[in-house]
Amino acid sequence: MKKRINEVSDEEVLLLMKKRKKGLLRIVFSRFGICAIMLLLQVVLIYLVLEWCSEDMEWFTAAAAVFTIAMFFQLFKSDMDATSKLTWLVLLMIFPIPISILFWCKEKEIGHRRLSRRLREMHARTMNKIPQDKDVLSDPSIVSSSTDALCHYLNLTGCFPVYNNTQVTFFPLGENKFEAMLEELEKAERFIFMEYFIIDEGYMWGRILKILAEKAAQGVEVRVMYDGMCEISTLSSDYPKRLSSLGIKCKSFSKIYPFLSTQYNYRDHRKILVIDGKVAFNGGVNLADEYINRRDRFGHWKDTAVMLKGRAVESFTLMFLQMWNITEKEEKWDEFLGCSPECKSFGYVIPYSDSPLDGYKVGECVYMDILNRAKKYVHIMTPYLVLDNELEMTLKFAAQRGVDVRLILPGIPDKKAAYALAKSHYNYLIKEGIKIYEYTPGFVHAKIFVCDDIKATVGTINLDYRSLYHHFECGTYLYGTECIGDIEEDFQKTLRCCREVTEETIKRESLYYRFLGSIMKLIAPMM
């Protein structure tokens, strides 16, 4: 009989770090505190140098003016969206010299040029690693729904075939995903690949880690990768060595160094688990106790995920290997690919990923494709709402065409600035017929679109600039799969726990959030 989450003893949890003390001193003397102090010192030093030069050297003042003007022209030449250009323009006018330098660093890819080059090389070598089944792509239902057109677009950006014979299970809560993860991890025989934005030691990660250690001891290839931000927030900088002592291969993606550069954008926000090429997990759930409501942060934590069994698992295997192999001297692919068996099921699945360094806005384009082709409804859950012009117009156009567009957002925020910024969009979206709801029990971290009972996407991609422009992301696009009804049913169930936002409730909104939202709107693309 399967043990439930709360029925397990502490002996079945493996932790590698002492519990950290909380408080100001811990922050100051932590890696985060040291990085923050060094970055602040660099900013102050640059400011003092610029002040000294501008007062004592006329030629420097002239050169700085020419450089700033050049950055103005470069800004208008760039292909960034209009809202981002406006933000940069305002900042350039207020702080011309430092913002000019920052913009130049961004344009010249200072801090991530090597990463960008390696990713381009990696994608070029893997564009044809998984061939598209032409019979699947020519299926009449795929063609009539224009899913083939979306697949064509996705395959311009990477290797993202459309699959049949893939069973998809939807999890309406992190607790549900966690129980399924434990069960599937116990079955692992060949390899386990894990890539997560956040790993935090506690009950959830402790139970998973115990299984990983046991599997590594049995000869299973276990690899764990997490974003470098974890090293200044949740994990120690030597955590890969700690896992290595258990036989687990581990690395952090894009380590954080205390030097000014553009590396602080471009974080690995993906959540992927692949087991033996047979099973894959994707969705919004990270590996920390709040995601399974064992730790109370911002009320009840509402999150979602999917489990794939079948051919489409191969795409998630490839996604993981692409990121893992960036820092590998000897790339290995074929021993892990080609081992995903068919699993008879209805519908079609397209796993996809989004890179901030390839010029394609994959996540946003998938969302806009769903909105533009919707006939009856599009129902959305997202933790953040920071819209660019294109996505805002697409949402409005769908509602103006008579599509029932509904969004569920958090009732209790994790970040007040982002919460205020989301509220700044409410009034004009509601006026166009879009219905907005806030989840009263707590925080919504789910990222789902479900449309017309026939298509959906579940993944890691928020409706904000961070996810749409600056992060590495991934998702699972579904067409005609049996679980789409479960996704819509969960949306309706969640809706019953929400308060509707109306013009009257907006009028009663606190002055604090109105003022903060107005200020944050000026720098929205940097949020």
Strand arrangement of the beta sheet that strand 498-501 belongs to: 348-354, 473-479, 455-459, 448-451, 377-381, 404-410, 435-439, 498-501
Q: Is 432 exposed, middle or buried (0-12, 13-18, 19+ CB in 10 A)?
A: middle
Does the annotation count 470 as an active-site position?
Answer: no
Does the annotation count 445 as an active-site position?
Answer: yes
**Under 8 Å between Cβ of 291 and 199:** no
Cα separation, 459 vs 351, whole angstroms: 9
> Which residue from 77, 102, 95, 158 is spatially nearest to 365, judged by alpha carbons?
158
Helix-, strand-, coil-residue percentages of the chain, each rounded to 5: 50, 20, 35
Cα separation, 446 vs 283, whole angstroms: 8
Residues with Cβ within 8 Å of 396's Cβ and at least 6 positions away in sequence, in order, are: 429, 432, 434
> Which residue from 465, 487, 466, 490 is spatially nearest to 476, judged by alpha carbons?
487
Cα separation, 329 vs 352, whole angstroms: 26
Residues with Cβ within 8 Å of 142's Cβ and at least 6 positions away in sequence, in order, are: 136, 148, 151, 162, 348, 479
DSSP state string for 3-24: PPGGG--GGG----SPPPPPSH
Catalytic residue among 177, 269, 423, 471: 269
| Token pair in block for residue 369 | 């494709």
> Which residue from 172, 132, 182 is spatially nearest to 314, judged by alpha carbons?
132
Catalytic residue among 200, 452, 464, 490: 452
Catalytic residue among 447, 455, 470, 471: 447
Catalytic residue among 276, 303, 369, 464: 276
In order of 164, 390, 422, 430, the CA distances from 400 in angstroms are: 34, 15, 21, 11
**Under 8 Å between Cβ of 98 and 46:** yes
Catalytic residue among 177, 215, 271, 396: 271
**Under 8 Å between Cβ of 457 and 477:** yes
DSSP state string for 435-471: EEEEETTEEE---EEEETTTEEEEES--BSHIIIIIS
β-pairing, 473-479 vs 455-459, is antiparallel
Task: Using only the alpha carbons of the chain, give its radius of gyration.
Answer: 24
**Under 8 Å between Cβ of 77 and 106:** no
Does the annotation count 447 as an active-site position?
Answer: yes
Return the half-sphere exposure (C-beta side, CA atoms, 13 A cut-off) of residue 298. 21
Catalytic residue among 210, 302, 445, 455: 445
Cα separation, 59 vs 456, whole angstroms: 59
In order of 158, 201, 412, 463, the CA distances from 466 in angstroms are: 21, 25, 20, 8
Does the annotation count 269 as an active-site position?
Answer: yes
Cα separation, 525 vs 87, whole angstroms: 7
Residues with active-site annotation:
269, 271, 276, 445, 447, 452
